[in-house]
Structure 1
Amino acid sequence: MRPNKRDELVRKALDVFYRNGFHATGMDMLVVETGVSKTSMYKHFRTKEDLILAALRLRDENFRNFLYRRIEEIADTPVGRLLALYDVLAEWFSKKEFRGCMFIKASAEYQEKEHPIHVQSAEHKRLLLEHFTKIARAAGAREPETLANQLMLLKEGAIVTAVMGLGNDPAQKAKLAAEVLIAQGVG
């Protein structure tokens, strides 16, 4: 099924926002980059922030689907799935278009905790934490919430390290640390 104009605009805007940031991307740039007129944009979205929220929702859906699917393909045990997170990160980091986490960027550009864009970004991270807490629980972690939080901190640190070009193979280094945490927390 062919995507409708609104969906196509959101998909194209997502790429522009990811590449250039939110504040740096003005409506004129969006017109040029997406090929959609301002009139059409405002027909679908009252404000640029409404378009950003739609783009973040799409990114959330796409990223979590990619992440969860790849983890399931790589590992078939709960402990294996906790570790596979870092293998999937390594794949993501190696992609030419990798520019870090869109949700970290959004929360940095919209820092007021009540701002809808900040809230949407935090929700993405909350959903990931919830997912990995379930896996930690299935793995038999004594404190699944604590273990999942620790693993998520490693994940976030690896993302920031990778985008900044610091260190060599941050996903693998995070995985080695995760192995220690899992060995201490499961059983």
Structure 2
Amino acid sequence: MEKFFKQLPNPRCINGRIGLKNETASVIECALYCMSDNRCGYFNYCNGECIMYKRWYGSEIVDYDCNCTSYLMLYGKSTNWQKVFAMKKTSFLRNPFYLHWDSMPIAKVKLNFRNINNVTHALYFNGTDTNHTSWFQENKLLSTPWRNGPPMKYIFNDMKPSLKIVKKANESFIKMLAERDGRKKFSMYYMEQGGSSRMDLKILNVFVLFK
């Protein structure tokens, strides 16, 4: 079971379950129920009750304490990068893992993005002692696809949602922007080296790597 799921240290129940199985004999049986539903990516085992939840949610997740054990379905092995946030032109999706971010041993965070020419880039951050928003700051940055430039300010708000990289001395200078510009549409782009050419994005994903 450890190959497919990771037990989370602080159990959380979520509003909006997709399945409930009463009289479940074990955690393993509950895991099998989750694996048999391609929507499932998170489950709670609560004294014989198996409660299943979606892998992705399109709005803020409402969670609460519960007397259960919580498990996250992994992407491949636990040593693989695990996707937590996913943004496209028409959606921003959250994996329930973000509720547990600050209680997990995270080594690195990857901001991965693909432009309209299907070229993929990534920024890497130190994930130690971070939560689901505090990883995105300049003093956590490990590597970037861009050459060194002026000091930048990194802003991530999953509630709006919005992700920005702007110049500290002049926040009107935008290096990267991904935020809602209408009811259902997102503006997503970065400025090419030198700041004179805008490159639109197709997708933007946030991954974590466990220690």
TM-score, length basis structure 2: 0.31
Considering fraction of residues, name the structure with more strand: 2
TM-score, length basis structure 1: 0.34
Considering fraction of residues, name the structure with more helix: 1
